[in-house]
Amino acid sequence: MPTRIHVVFYSMYGHMHKMAEAVAAGAGAIEGTEVTLLQVPELVPDDVLLLSGARETRAAFATVPVAEPGKLAEADAIIFGTPTRFGNMCAQMRNFLDQTGPLWASGSLVGKVGSVFTSTASQHGGHETTITSFHTTLLHHGMVIVGVPYTEQRLVEMDEISGGSPYGASTLTGGNGARQPSKNELAIARFQGMHVADIANRLNGSHWRKA
């Protein structure tokens, strides 16, 4: 039976979608995995999206299926992607997670691998606090948290401004959102996907997971 990886993201201007694709590609590169890319539902009214310019950018990934909270239990590992909102996850992702109470009550996510990646407008815009605060929810679900170890040498890239931390991959969008994920940031995202998938594979094949 393949190890099932769900990459669940929210993206407004496309940055997180590109990062999610890189994460999914990394996870899919590990033999024995089955990767599903999903987005959480939008909460912003369509007319507001139009005024903000986000309706056009969101059209680029409109065909990505919408995640259903109850179906998270089908995955062996879930890699969440959220942009930063004042150092925390966005409202769309928070709303989605708040619907996972039944999974918590039944212990359906206990022992599954959880990981997080993000985006911020600036170098110090909260990419680390967004991920670590997200971890609190995953811990309440009993998930096994996986980040990005320093065996990924791109974390210490000093020749350019770059996102990425031991907590998870990240990208910097710039104040106006014009900056797109860099080659270094996308590579870290792919590594995160591979690393999570590798660990999930090991747990999925272990005796205690089959018990």
- What are the pLDDT digits (tens) for 98-138? 999 999 999 999 999 999 999 999 999 999 999 999 999 99
Confirm if 29 and 59 have CB atoms less than 8 A apart: no
Whether residue 191 is predicted with pLDDT greater than 80 in this model: the reply is: yes
Q: Tell me what pLDDT residue 179 has.
A: 93
More confident residue, 47 or 79: 79
Whether residue 203 is predicted with pLDDT greater than 80 in this model: the reply is: yes
Q: Which of 205, 161, 168 is nearest to 22 (CA)?
A: 168
Backbone Cα Rg of the chain: 16
For tokens 């931390």, name the residue.
165
What pTM did the predictor assign? Answer: 0.94
Q: Is 53 left (phi over 0), alpha (psi -120 to 50) or beta?
A: left
Whether residue 210 is predicted with pLDDT greater than 60 in this model: the reply is: no
Top-level class of domain 3-210: alpha beta
Find residue 82's DSSP bridge partners: 118
Q: Looking at the chain, which runs of residues are DSSP E strands?
A: 3-9, 33-39, 77-85, 88-89, 113-120, 144-145, 170-172
Distance separating alpha carbons of residues 115 and 138, to the nearest angstrom: 9
